Chains A and B, each alone.
Chain A
Amino acid sequence: MSLHVDSGPSTRAPVPPSRRHGRPGSGRTFLSWLDMKAAPYFLISPYYLLFLLFGIFPLGFTLWYSLYDYDLAGTVKWTGLGNYSALLADSAFWNAVVNTLGMFVIATVPQILLALLLANALNKRIRGRLFVRLGVLLPLVTSVVAVAVVFTQLYGRDWGLFNWILGSVGVDPVDWKAERLPSWLAISTMIDWRWTGYNAIIFLAAMQTVPKDLYEAAAIDGASRRRQFWQITIPMLRPTMIFVVLNSTIGGLTLFAEPTTFYGGNVHGGSNSQFQTVSMFIVEQGFREFDYGYAAGAAWLLFIMILIGSLINFLLIRRIGGNK
């Protein structure tokens, strides 16, 4: 990467003399003063304009909407915190919360462990390094919808490959969509298939910054490979681990496409909503029932969930790294 830096700009940097605004030391004109002071704001203004329109405005208005009651007929009534208290008493909302958290845990824990294992393997001296890394990252290229379509077929009750494999070792076919735990497992594998390799590459990047002398010193002291991994690699990986886990927390708690596609593009999440996530609940309330206030309230509760989840994970990882 650094090669580009050295060769590019230095040959192009000097500005043609004829185009100069003013000679150095000849005193700044009003225009160049304006250029110095205003240009930075001008350069960042596109981003902040968008931020205002599509960031601040919706966030504020979501809060505003959540204080009103909308019904199908289009009447709007002030309800204060009514939507929130209704949500907290709504078993359908809690069902979505439980599903979201359940799938988050089932998907994330094995995913991070597998990614660590995989990163450790990638960190060895291997032939065809680029090919192997591309292979590991391949799932990231496929869209979530595509992943979900393929896995939904693989998990089919009657003609799915997984049930065929189970059948050939004498296990009865599983109706993956019909029940809670099997459906959670099926959806979790979709998430893990897509993200494990990505996280492994991120871990690998961090592993390569660990000084190799540390391992050699440990090896001389007689520490086994396993001990080196847990006592050198893992603690040194802590900042990256925080990044990966926070990323997974946000992604996991906002899960939408996989379970929706798993149920044929329907946000109800199974016949008994056994795999409806909070994101699907929000879409169902807002865009199927047209109860905007209720959906907006659920969105704020989801945001609070994410903040709490991130905080817990952050503290957990700090402890794990700190103890060793």
Chain B
Amino acid sequence: MTTLFAPAEARARRAKATGRPDLWKATPLTKIVLAVTIIVSAFPIYWMVVIASRSNREATDIPPPFLPGGNLGQNIQRVLTNEDAHYLAGLTNSVIIASTVTISVVLISTFAGFAFARLRFKGGRILLLLVLVTMMVPLQQMGMVPLYRMMVSLEWIGTLKAVILPYLLNGFGVFLMTQYTEQAVPNELVEAARVDGASTLRIWWNVILPAVRPGMAVLGINTFMLTWNDFLWPLIVLTPDNPTVQVAINSLNAKYGTDYVLIFSGTALSVLPLIIVFVVFGRQIIGGLMEGAVKA
């Protein structure tokens, strides 16, 4: 980043010296566009907190309230003790599901990425191509009916297994880790370890794993967020008394349509863990996203 930045500064200075317009200068329009975007981005989340901390009477005031009130704790209490939503169970289930899926997907993808990027074997290219093709298929919609029937005959409906297992199939993860391994681990390093007599598993552990850790982090954060937020499949295979957090919010929404304060408190509480992750790992998330975009 620093190397990119220095010439830009130099260019700016040169542009000033030669009297040519500086192409990368932020115009007032730029600043307005960005400011408006940030306000629009943040507003619904702010609004969530405003309504979640008010009473239902205030929430339906005209004009609406624009500042947070003092009822947040009490409202969250109501969400947690609500008998239809099973919110706490939902929160726990979401943590279990998202963590299990994240760890598995990252491991499976790192294994496969190593094989595709740095090992030579018959059919490797075709198998990798297969991964790319399946990334285009909307598996959730396409596989819904048979997967549901499969879970019924296994008697897994209502269990977390039924949610977790289909999520472990993640072509994007394999693709990302293949790309990352290719870039992060020089072939010579693998060859050298091989000459030293290291087994494939040992190479994975001692050479690959330390090098691809940043890629694993990006994939992990990504997978966690997607799994945490997914709605359609848990809605189908789980029952309302053992939900994920999204399904719990849906139950609140379906049953207490006008009790905005209750629904908003539940929603705010479900977004909170992700906002924390986002603030802590923001730099890595953006870095990973931008790097992935250029390579794809």
Contact = CB atoms under 8 A, between A and B. Distances in A.
A256 B169 contact: no
A156 B296 CA distance: 40
Interface in B24-71: 24-27, 29-31, 33-34, 37-38, 40-42, 44-45, 47-48, 51, 59-64
B282 A130 contact: yes
A193 B210 contact: no
A15 B253 contact: no
Interface stretch (A91-99, A101-109, A298-306): A298-306
B170 to A, nearest CB: 8
B148 interface: yes
Interface string A264-298: 11100000000000010011001100001001100
A14 B196 contact: yes
Interface stretch (A147-155, A180-188, A316-324): A147-155
Contacts of B146: 57-58, 61-62, 64-65, 296
Contact of B144 (A146, A208, A282): A282
Nearest to A146: B267
Interface in A124-139: 124-126, 130, 132-139
Contacts of A215: 23
B123 to A, nearest CB: 9
A166 interface: no
A37 B200 CA distance: 10
B200 A36 contact: yes
B142 A62 contact: yes
A254 interface: yes
B143 A59 contact: yes
A193 B39 CA distance: 12
Interface of chain B: mostly helix, strand, loop or mixed? helix
A3 to B, nearest CB: 10
Contact of A142 (B109, B183, B263, B274): B274
A50 interface: yes
A99 B229 CA distance: 24
A50 B41 contact: no
Contacts of B144: 58, 282-283, 286, 295, 299
A75 interface: no
Nearest to A41: B121
B132 interface: no
B88 interface: no
Contacts of A145: 229, 231, 246, 249-250, 267, 270
A13 interface: yes
B253 A58 contact: no
B134 interface: yes
Given A39-B119, A193-B44, A44 B228 contact: no
Contacts of A209: 294
Contacts of B131: 47
Contact of B145 (A197, A253, A295): A295
B80 interface: no
A113 interface: no
Interface string B252-294: 0110010010011001001100110111001101110111011
B138 A146 contact: no
Contacts of A41: 115, 121
B103 interface: no
Interface of B: 4, 7-8, 11-12, 20-21, 23-27, 29-31, 33-34, 37-38, 40-42, 44-45, 47-48, 51, 59-64, 108-109, 111-112, 114-116, 119-121, 124, 127, 130-131, 134, 136-150, 165-166, 168-169, 174, 183-185, 189, 192-193, 195-202, 204, 206-207, 210-211, 213-214, 225, 228-229, 231-232, 236, 246, 249-251, 253-254, 257, 260, 263-264, 267, 270-271, 274-275, 277-279, 282-283, 285-287, 289-291, 293-294, 296
Given A54-B169, A303-B142, 16 more contacts: A5-B184, A15-B193, A24-B196, A32-B199, A39-B201, A40-B115, A43-B115, A58-B146, A137-B278, A138-B42, A141-B277, A154-B47, A164-B62, A205-B293, A254-B140, A286-B144
5 smallest beta-carbon distances between A and B, as pairs: A58-B143, A61-B146, A39-B200, A205-B290, A265-B254
